[in-house]
Amino acid sequence: MKVLVTGVAGFIGMHVALDLLRRGDSIVGVDNLNDYYDPQLKRDRLEQLRGYANFRFVQGNIENRELMAEIFQIEQFERVVHLAAQAGVRYSITNPHAYVESNLVGFMNVLEGCRHHQVQHLIYASSSSVYGSQPDVPFREDDNVAQPMSLYAATKKANELMAHSYSNLFGLPTTGLRFFTVYGPWGRPDMAYFLFTKAILEGGPIDVFNHGDMQRDLTYIGDIVESVVRVLDRPATPMPGSKVPYRIFNIGNHTPVQLLDFIMHLEDHLGVSAIKCFKPMQDGDVPITYADSTALAEWINFRPSTSFSDGSLQFVNWYKNYYLTHEQATLAKDGEKALRKGPDMPNFRAAAA
């Protein structure tokens, strides 16, 4: 099967592409390798994929209409996994245009490509952020999500509406996946678990927002990949009473973790106590995310279940190995430069003066 994976150098994109490559699918990955966070991490993720003969990478922006039209025309994909987006709640407050360009214009280009080239199934990343400050938990797919707390959340809800219109007008099967706080090896450096791990190891303070009174439904990357691939393999069909091939699913662990417990697990794995700086809630944030994953389990016969204790240990082990390897490589390069340069020679002219 030939599959387009957008955002292929991203955290989820790399893991999904790797799983599809290993089972024999032909993957074309698109990513712009932007500097929202360290591009070197993105390049290193790509290196995990480049060894596969059934992988091809295209660097570019999904908001480039001509580029995306050309890719769809040449490749004739059977299915599409659309994960490229401008992520982050707080970044959307200061850089709103990036979200309009990537999350709305870019998504439109993907929809148009699927429409004109008879793609069998489009699955795309939505977010638990669409639930906003919903008071009733756990969150269900049929909850009212008409009051987003951030522009990021608004663009993700807009994606769901755009997909529904294309499913309705053109019969395009689409499935939106509302991801709940994904974590694990090769994760995003802007996420709390990553920032906390870095700060704890470096002996710096960590910001604990809402004075620690927060909960997150933390979902391990391995469970995310298993869910995404199973959903990809089952194209959306109409809900009862509808004629539109359109579905929305939560992908969450159904087990919210208290923020202070979250920190405690990292401290245990790292063997270091965190220096906590308690602060009020940030703009655009919410006190709890909590997924009802019943619909997903019924659709694909799978439910995320990895505990944060187990998953965070996998992340910490990867983090130490990845950054230790980079530190050693940097030291080795510095050593090679010193050898080529030779020992420092005295400045004889300065001495003579």
Catalytic residue positions?
A: 152
Residue tagged 């793609």 (tokens): 119
Residue tagged 């219109």 (tokens): 165
**Residue 117: enclosing H or E segment and its boundaries?**
none
Q: What CA–CA distance (Å, rounded) separates 27 from 99?
A: 26
Spell out the SS3 assignment of 302-327: CCCCCCHHHHHHHHHHHHHHHHHHHH
Q: Are 202 and 275 in contact (CB under 8 A)?
A: no
Cα 248 to its chain centre, rounded Å, is 18
Q: What CA–CA distance (Å, rounded) separates 284 from 26?
A: 39
Q: Cα dist. 270→187, 209, 262, 326 in Å?
A: 17, 21, 13, 19
Q: Is 320 exposed, middle or buried (0-12, 13-18, 19+ CB in 10 A)?
A: middle
Q: What CA–CA distance (Å, rounded) separates 51 from 115?
A: 32
At 225, which amino acid appears?
V
Residue 105 structure tokens: 């214009």
Q: Are 171 and 245 in contact (CB under 8 A)?
A: yes
Q: Are 93 and 153 in contact (CB under 8 A)?
A: no
**Residue 346: enclosing H or E segment and its boundaries?**
none
At 29, which amino acid appears?
G
Alpha helices in 127-258 (DSSP H): 151-170, 192-202, 221-232
Closest Cα to residue 125, out of 74, 188, 73, 39? 188
